[in-house]
Amino acid sequence: MKFAPDWFMYFIVFWAVVMVGAMSIGGFFMFRKFLKVLPMRDGKSKLDWQNYWVERSRSMWTDDSKQLLDELVSPVPSAFRDIAKHSIAAKIGQVAIEHGASSVTREHCIEGYIRATPKRDYRSLVSFLDRQGIDYGPYKHLLNK
Q: Are residues 72 and 53 in the same domain?
A: yes
Q: Are residues 93 and 132 in the same domain?
A: yes
Q: Are residues 17 and 54 in the same domain?
A: no
Q: Are residues 82 and 122 in the same domain?
A: yes
Helix locations, the chain, DSSP H: 6-37, 46-57, 63-72, 81-98, 106-116, 122-132, 140-143
Q: Are residues 12 and 57 in the same domain?
A: no
Does 62 map to a domain? yes
Q: Are residues 29 and 67 in the same domain?
A: no
pLDDT, tens digit, 9 for 90 and up, residues 68-87: 999 999 988 998 899 999 99
Q: Are residues 51 and 114 in the same domain?
A: yes
Q: Are residues 8 and 51 in the same domain?
A: no
| pLDDT in the model for residue 113 | 92
The candidate with the shortest Cα–Cα distance to 37, out of 50, 27, 26, 24, is 50
Provide the whole-model pTM.
0.75
Range of the domain at 112: 46-142
| pLDDT in the model for residue 12 | 92
pLDDT tops 70 at residue 46: yes
Q: Are residues 58 and 107 in the same domain?
A: yes
Q: Are residues 23 and 74 in the same domain?
A: no
Q: Distance (Å, rounded) from C-alpha 104 to C-alpha 56?
A: 12
Averaged confidence pLDDT in the chain: 90
- pLDDT band of residue 30 (cuts 50, 70, 90) is confident
Q: How many domains does the chain have?
A: 2
